[in-house]
Structure 1
């Protein structure tokens, strides 16, 4: 690692790498654990504390990734001579990410060559938010910050607005703020809009403004002071809002028959779309992690650095690898491996709901995937570092 020179900020890459590694656990569970992606690990009527935690810990991934995408955009722009260059990069990269989501990433999730299931997840959200941010960066910094705060803290006021059906305005609202799975084309296609973009745009804007603390020459002591303040403040505000139980999440927590499950209910916040409580719960600890990791250097941080410097490359590879392992798992179980070619009919049928491995197998697969991908990602990271003149590498 010491032979690779980079102007990138290591603590940001380490955090990004960590959440990418954690993310793979959720996807390993999706393709190996009983119920596959058809069962809800956060359903308090059927889950266990360990299964709930396995899902809960991965909640940190998407908001941190989107937030840091905004931060990276700011830092990228700080090296350019004009905002026009940054706007062009954000728009073209965002358009590229939306295209990749609906083709390469969609196929990795379904292995359905017809691409009849159109899944809009985190890569789409980052892409569309980048395209919008390309215009917003021309706003004064204070107004941009205010807009980000307004979206993150105020978008739950829109929770009561819901649409149904496939009318144009309904579809538009699904993309903006309402989680929705919608059968289309007379049952031959499906829209799975898991990441309505508006709340994620607020998170990305705040990440962009956050990049101010990592500008060249910014006092590290002042930065760490604010990281700690923001992190602790977000966590405290999460507990206050969640305890009051009036605003900030679609699902108020409820007292359960057992105390353990009451605790689970308290932390069972809404990801689709990301509620204020969800955002505070995840970004608060992430900021404290950045505070703590800034001056630490060891084998663990070196490993996370690898994944954090080639996140898109890693993201694509890990989806295909986990899906393939899931198919092998079905063969081991004596099932038809083609059940993991997820067509519209298979989504509607849900045959895999009661089939799969115990949770420990998902953890074993997760570790296996990380071990396999680490040397590949390290080689690619070294290639990128040695070929900075190749502009197209910034899109991979």
Structure 2
């Protein structure tokens, strides 16, 4: 395949990755700025609104899609490296992301200088997944890695039926690696470690992405790739609908008939992200594969904007989180809250009182302003990284 074709393929991945990064910011802005973010469930069919439900539901696509695209990118990055170099880079970057999660993202979440709670969230899952992938790359083929990933995706929900003694060592291990919805464990210094993301179900998605990366290797026919992506996406989406309708295996949160047909639909679509159930993965990744197929030749203003964010996901992620928390700090303190009230030990996040916040329309305005304000910094950093080509930039 031509060089232009190769660049186009990478560009199409950046477009989708950029889009999910932009959508991801909406969820984080909602967490900090929406009036009911800490007092109500936006996905509860009986109490939510259509706009609020959609605002939360659409962001379900972000984490699994980023895992999938990270797997594809890992395969593509390894095309010009030895297996040993690829494995080493993935493992080192995985540990780097875990370090960033513990030190920089924990503070970004809480603005708590005492680190009373260490939050292990998406970067933790991403880092652990890279370490697992880095180990597998050394010993097995991309096809085998994809098979292992699919086994994890399709099979991990069986562990929901395994009953072990609560808070036993085995129970804690299972919750951290497979089944936890949020596991908080005490530290020796009196603090807490919060495992918000489990490890292996997310790793399975990255492994599947790594195997999917073979469709993007040099010389692979473009039309064949598009057909395979489109067909796979349709099959996964149909499988989601069928399994969800059966209401059995694949998600512990079963749907139920509600007072209205619309509320029943909301219940049907409300699948489990923590941990990512089989149905959650099918619901999100089926459409993503379809979108990947249709963005092969995308070349419009929106695609070019998304590409700017998609080329520098780590830079964007870190910057947008600190910007959101700084803005909520300013908003809270300027609204009449005292420093003591805004930093109360009872608050889950500093500068986020439970009774503070705005209506959803204002949240959307803040989200758009934040994303727009990061466009020039992301464009600058993307150009700098492409120009400088220093080794440490590959970790950012």
TM over 0.5: yes
1:182-215 Cα deviation digits (max 9, x unpaired): 2525994233222101100110100000000100
Equivalent residues, number = 389
- The structure-2 alpha-carbon separation of the partners of 1:382 and 1:306, relative to structure 1 and needing over 3 Å to count, comes to same
Following TM superposition, by how much is the alpha carbon of 1:174 offset from its aligned partner in structure 2, in angstroms? 2.5
Following TM superposition, by how much is the alpha carbon of 1:99 offset from its aligned partner in structure 2, in angstroms? 0.4
SS in structure 1 at match of 2:347: helix
Which residue matches 1:276?
Answer: 278
C-alpha contact (below 8 Å) 1:249/1:276 kept by paired residues? yes
For 2:308 and 2:177, the matched residues in 1 are separated by 34
For 1:337 and 1:208, the matched residues in 2 are separated by 47
SS in structure 2 at match of 1:114: coil
Following TM superposition, by how much is the alpha carbon of 1:346 offset from its aligned partner in structure 2, in angstroms? 1.9
Q: How does 1:117-196 map to 2 (within 5 A)?
A: 117-137=117-137, 138-161=139-162, 168-177=169-178, 178-182=180-184, 184-185=186-187, 188-196=190-198
Question: Which structure 2 segments of 5+ residues have no match?
Answer: 1-5
For 2:11 and 2:165, the matched residues in 1 are separated by 45
Which residue matches 2:84?
Answer: 84
C-alpha contact (below 8 Å) 2:182/2:274 kept by paired residues? no
Which residue matches 2:3?
Answer: none
Following TM superposition, by how much is the alpha carbon of 1:40 offset from its aligned partner in structure 2, in angstroms? 2.5
- The structure-2 alpha-carbon separation of the partners of 1:351 and 1:142, relative to structure 1 and needing over 3 Å to count, comes to closer
- The structure-2 alpha-carbon separation of the partners of 1:327 and 1:392, relative to structure 1 and needing over 3 Å to count, comes to same
Following TM superposition, by how much is the alpha carbon of 1:386 offset from its aligned partner in structure 2, in angstroms? 0.4
Residues 85-94 or 353-362, more deviating: 353-362
Question: Which structure 1 segments of 5+ residues have no match?
Answer: none
- The structure-2 alpha-carbon separation of the partners of 1:103 and 1:351, relative to structure 1 and needing over 3 Å to count, comes to closer
1:29 aligns with 2:30: yes
SS in structure 1 at match of 2:68: helix
Following TM superposition, by how much is the alpha carbon of 1:167 offset from its aligned partner in structure 2, in angstroms? 5.3
For 1:241 and 1:116, the matched residues in 2 are separated by 41
SS in structure 2 at match of 1:224: helix
For 1:139 and 1:121, the matched residues in 2 are separated by 28
- The structure-2 alpha-carbon separation of the partners of 1:339 and 1:200, relative to structure 1 and needing over 3 Å to count, comes to farther
SS in structure 2 at match of 1:203: helix
SS in structure 2 at match of 1:119: strand
For 1:304, which of 295, 303, 306 is the aligned residue? 306
For 1:308 and 1:338, the matched residues in 2 are separated by 39
Following TM superposition, by how much is the alpha carbon of 1:355 offset from its aligned partner in structure 2, in angstroms? 3.0
1:53-92 Cα deviation digits (max 9, x unpaired): 1000000000000111111111111111x20000000000
Q: How does 1:1-396 map to 2 (within 5 A)?
A: 9-37=10-38, 39-80=40-81, 82-137=82-137, 138-161=139-162, 168-177=169-178, 178-182=180-184, 184-185=186-187, 188-336=190-338, 341=343, 345-347=346-348, 352-388=353-389, 390-396=390-396
SS in structure 2 at match of 1:35: coil
For 1:156 and 1:32, the matched residues in 2 are separated by 34
For 2:341 and 2:221, the matched residues in 1 are separated by 55
1:222-242 Cα deviation digits (max 9, x unpaired): 000001101111110010000
1:246-269 Cα deviation digits (max 9, x unpaired): 111110001111211111100000
For 2:273 and 2:218, the matched residues in 1 are separated by 34
C-alpha contact (below 8 Å) 1:36/1:352 kept by paired residues? no
C-alpha contact (below 8 Å) 2:329/2:351 kept by paired residues? no
For 1:14 and 1:56, the matched residues in 2 are separated by 21
C-alpha contact (below 8 Å) 1:314/1:377 kept by paired residues? yes
Residues 349-358 or 31-40, more deviating: 349-358
C-alpha contact (below 8 Å) 1:110/1:340 kept by paired residues? no
What RMSD in Å do the two structures reach over aligned CA positions?
2.3
Following TM superposition, by how much is the alpha carbon of 1:367 offset from its aligned partner in structure 2, in angstroms? 0.4
For 1:22 and 1:10, the matched residues in 2 are separated by 18
Following TM superposition, by how much is the alpha carbon of 1:159 offset from its aligned partner in structure 2, in angstroms? 1.6
Following TM superposition, by how much is the alpha carbon of 1:317 offset from its aligned partner in structure 2, in angstroms? 0.3
